[in-house]
Structure 1
């Protein structure tokens, strides 16, 4: 395969070079293609300026049929079985700059949960505590203690002016709803949500309602009210005003008034490892029983059951592309389309299989603004930033942790955070496009 006919195309008008066809050597790489594009951009720049002026070359990535070119062109063409009889269109785009390490925070034990807002990071730890840190102030730290065993997950619920509400789950079989006044140095437990019989490992707050769901090692999923005020449906039997016993009052002050679940959904046969909302009424859960299940919350019943080959450890759903990402015990990240309910074969619902980790994938998070990008964290101590158009090679390896990665967050478009068993929370600045 000596030469290949190809046309170089850019969507961004500022980088277009006319869409002409080239007779390229088969061994050409992305570096050489970048040099070729820059050669024509320089000529275009000089023609426009009317004289030779300073030109700054750019690095480009190249896509063929929606997948990044990561080998020599002839190797890609042979691997994909593309015809060399016709001109191959190659799209090029400006190469993304990598995340920049910005800060690190130390906790007293393993960091198991993190969720960022615009200003603050909510952090859960194996020291049984929940911490709030200001993103731009290393020394600002607010703590809340109410759990009696390690915290497994955390999430912000809502904010009303300078009052924040959050939820944490724990191995002590409970979830706690917290209230934090911005000027206070401590968090106040409002409600202790009890109903699970084993460790509560995951939580997902409803995007539009005052509700959240939890998943547990008892294989069940429970829906709870996230309202900061006591409910009228007998969900708060230990009302503080009725608790005349001193020990009971102290327990309520430490952990909050007891709240019971609104509904319970059963179907999984092993631990529920992660949950995520798909829309206002549909919830997705993944489990150690090798299944992905989609639930109708309004009817409190299972709608879809997809079986995988290995244990599912994490999941996240992208509102940008309507795809589900899962982290698995076979070291792979799989991208699913849960909308295709008519397909009986679960394997055919997998749209991409991302492989680079050498340990179990413990957490996955989609970009909040880019439909192609997501993060993964693993027991191999690595955090990787992927573009699903490059399934074999991550865009960037975020090297920081010295022990297993346990949690990730990408809620703030420009901030990536990861926590792990090395007791460090790392912050990266990323200039999302």
Structure 2
């Protein structure tokens, strides 16, 4: 930038959706040479916190500002006479390592709920840790690798835990680490689990090409979960003493022509269910009737999917390095809002941050995890998880905690807020 250009100024109007950081909306005259750091200094000065500054990111027209104001104006053919509206938000800090926990085999699935971190492992064991990385529960009833785990809160706000396996079963666990119920009916490995916010319906995806719905905590005899807990073994007289009670699916969703790798409930509207898989489709279902209401062509196999409660958007992870973002509330052909090339190779898992409508983490076979702001359409941070060639198989980002695991047989616990 030449000397004359560096002296140019432009009026900008700051605004934010984070009310605790709001400043005056009067236009402020600033040098066009400023980038993120300089703009952050101005906002902190307006907030009266120059000695304890908060780092901010800046956005213009919904896109992350990664160049100077001068470069932005030039790239968008704007004059310095324009007043530019600039949104700002607190910067998500880089993931910070908090601890690691060695496992006996590959970690295929992880989840977070409250203070609990759950891992599902190829040794067939489900493990529960606290956030100090201390093992607090060991659950061992599966007869094959554990490939899906789900820890969630019930209507009574008590933790509930489910796991799915290569043994084609799903287990609901008691608080004393014994199997409460075994859900049977799939004819292939379980790939993913999801639950409605009320926690009374569990959904499972499988290599058999189906999604199934299960009424949790209620026996086939119509008993509620308290009655079943006290009389589970005696219900029919047909179960051998000490056996885990079994349940059949309430409904089955048919339509996929390949393995179903992901299932998600729309937590804003639990009557809507999403599934995706290796038939290259993302499907929308009416959860009550099992009617397939719409389909989206994903172009490539889908390995993972997550629904964002803050934004209502879906994100899917693919084998072509891509993460695709969808708004299936729209009825037009533009449901796919964004395709990002993560340059990670096979993207195995992804998870939205539950604290932001824009941030997600994705894990891949290149041994990395990337933190992405969809407004930037590029990774903000890249974390090298393990040695080259050691695939990351699962990640979960909730409440400022990012956990992951894979072929390095290690549970990684990080803060990311």
Same fold (TM over 0.5): yes
Task: Give the deviation of 1:215 after TM superposition.
Answer: 0.7
Q: Is the 8 A contact 2:15 2:85 kept in 1?
A: no
The residue correspondences of 1:306-385 to structure 2 (distance < 5 A) are 306-341=296-331, 343=332, 345=333, 348-385=334-371
> 2: distance between equivalents of 1:327 and 1:15?
35
The residue correspondences of 1:12-411 to structure 2 (distance < 5 A) are 16=23, 19-22=26-29, 24-25=31-32, 28-34=34-40, 41=46, 55-80=51-76, 82=78, 86-136=82-132, 138-158=133-153, 164-181=159-176, 187-227=177-217, 229-232=218-221, 240-241=233-234, 249=240, 253=243, 256-278=244-266, 279-341=269-331, 343=332, 345=333, 348-392=334-378, 394-402=379-387, 403-411=390-398
TM-score by length of 1: 0.82
Task: Give the deviation of 1:147 after TM superposition.
Answer: 1.5
Task: Give the deviation of 1:59 after TM superposition.
Answer: 3.6
Give 1:51's aligned residue: none
Taking structure 1 as reference, are residues 192 and 391 closer, same or farther at Cα in structure 2, changes over 3 Å only? same
Q: Is the 8 A contact 2:164 2:190 kept in 1?
A: yes
> 1: distance between equivalents of 2:22 and 2:160?
46
Q: Is the 8 A contact 1:10 1:93 kept in 2?
A: no
What SS does the aligned partner of 1:96 have?
coil
CA-to-partner distance for each residue in 1:102-123, whole Å, 9 max, x for gaps? 1111111111112222222221
CA-to-partner distance for each residue in 1:308-335, whole Å, 9 max, x for gaps? 1111111111121111111111112121
> 1: distance between equivalents of 2:247 and 2:12?
63
> 2: distance between equivalents of 1:340 and 1:14?
32
Task: Give the deviation of 1:142 after TM superposition.
Answer: 2.0
TM-score by length of 2: 0.85
Q: Is the 8 A contact 1:157 1:226 kept in 2?
A: no
Task: Give the deviation of 1:224 after TM superposition.
Answer: 0.9
CA-to-partner distance for each residue in 1:19-52, whole Å, 9 max, x for gaps? 4454644x653344445666x659x78xxxxxxx
What SS does the aligned partner of 2:240 have?
helix
Task: Give the deviation of 1:126 after TM superposition.
Answer: 0.6
What SS does the aligned partner of 1:109 have?
coil
Taking structure 1 as reference, are residues 56 and 124 closer, same or farther at Cα in structure 2, changes over 3 Å only? closer
> 1: distance between equivalents of 2:302 and 2:157?
38
- Cα RMSD, aligned residues only: 3.0
Give 1:423's aligned residue: 409
1:9 and 2:14 aligned = yes
> 2: distance between equivalents of 1:297 and 1:14?
40
CA-to-partner distance for each residue in 1:231-259, whole Å, 9 max, x for gaps? 3169x9xx7448989xx737x63xx2221
Task: Give the deviation of 1:14 after TM superposition.
Answer: 5.8
> 2: distance between equivalents of 1:64 and 1:400?
33
> 1: distance between equivalents of 2:207 and 2:270?
25
Question: For structure 1, which runs of at least 5 residues remain unmatched after alignment?
Answer: 46-53, 182-186
Taking structure 1 as reference, are residues 21 and 134 closer, same or farther at Cα in structure 2, changes over 3 Å only? closer
What SS does the aligned partner of 1:128 have?
coil
Taking structure 1 as reference, are residues 56 and 220 closer, same or farther at Cα in structure 2, changes over 3 Å only? closer
> 1: distance between equivalents of 2:271 and 2:75?
42
